[in-house]
Structure 1
């Protein structure tokens, strides 16, 4: 029983970790695109 609970905990933690990494990667792309837009606007002026 204890091994099953431990394995479930490990799987849940790894899942949360992977989801978190993907969210941060997506957020990084969003911030990068905003930065590029600001740079393009500044270059036009």
Structure 2
């Protein structure tokens, strides 16, 4: 029973860490997209 509880706890912690990692990756991708959009708008305004 103790081993099962530890296994469930480790899976829960791993899941939470995975969600946090994906959220951080999503923010990084969003910032990259915003930089591309800003550059495109800047080039467009200079034309």
State whether TM-score is above 0.5: yes
Q: Which TM-score tier does this pair reach, normalised by the shorter chain?
A: over 0.9
Gaps of 5+ in 2: none
Gaps of 5+ in 1: none
CA RMSD of aligned residues (A): 0.3
With normalisation by structure 2, the TM-score equals: 0.90
Q: 4+ runs of 1 displaced by more than 3 Å?
A: none
With normalisation by structure 1, the TM-score equals: 0.94
- Cα deviation 1:3-35 (Å, max 9, x = unaligned): 100000000000000000000000000000000
- Residue 21 of structure 2 is matched in structure 1 by 23
Aligned residues: 43
